């Protein structure tokens, strides 16, 4: 039985998508490191993404807390939150968590997807 040529094309598309995603991740990491180097030596830059189709909620606070825990206590923190908006109470909880992990300057920027 001959193999359907669409199968090979779909497999190639999947492989290309994986490669593109890996390259994009490396590019984002490089840009974040450049951003971090522009600040003081004690500056850390963190980015928190939410799902595109779901607004920020209390369910995001645990993953956010884990992210901060992995960073540890820092003197200065630039936080970039990428989300379509959402629950203000969850945002306040996340801000309180940031204050516990940041002993100096805290800057937050939000980007909507």
pLDDT per position as a tens digit, 39-69: 777 788 888 988 778 889 999 999 999 999 9
The tally of domains found in the chain comes to 2
Residues 85, 34 share a domain: no
- Are 53 and 98 found together in one domain? yes
Q: Are the C-beta atoms of residues 42 and 104 closer than 8 Å to each other? A: yes
Residues 27 and 44 in one domain: no
Specify the pTM.
Answer: 0.70
Q: Which residue has the higher pLDDT, 32 or 81?
A: 81
Nearest to 32 by CA among 63, 65, 59, 71: 71
Pair (3, 48) in one structural domain: no
Evaluate if residue 83 carries a pLDDT over 60.
yes
CB atoms < 10 A from the CB of 6, how many?
A: 8
Same domain, 67 and 81: yes
**Is the predicted pLDDT of residue 2 greater than 70, yes or no?**
no
45 and 29 belong to one structural domain: no
The helix/strand/coil state of 73 is coil
Q: Quick one: 79 and 57 in the same domain?
A: yes
Asked whether residue 34 falls in the same domain as residue 45, the answer is no
In this structure, the answer to whether residues 80 and 90 fall within a common structural domain is yes
Are 47 and 96 in a shared domain? Answer: yes
Domain check: are 88 and 50 in the same one? yes
What crossing angle do the helices spanning 61-71 and 88-101 adopt, rounded to 10°?
A: 20
User: Do 16 and 57 belong together in one domain?
Assistant: no
Domain encompassing residue 18: 1-38
């Amino acid at each position: 039985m001959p193999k359907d040529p669409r199968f090979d094309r779909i497999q190639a598309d999947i492989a290309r998508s994986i490669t593109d995603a890996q390259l994009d991740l490396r590019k984002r990491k490089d840009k974040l490191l450049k951003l971090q180097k522009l600040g003081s030596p004690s500056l850390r830059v963190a980015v928190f993404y939410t799902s595109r189709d779901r607004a920020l909620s209390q369910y995001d606070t645990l993953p956010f807390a884990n992210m901060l825990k992995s960073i540890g206590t820092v003197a200065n923190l630039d936080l970039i939150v990428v989300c379509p908006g959402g629950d203000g109470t969850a945002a306040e909880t996340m801000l309180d968590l940031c204050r516990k992990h940041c002993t100096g300057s805290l800057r937050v920027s939000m980007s909507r997807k």
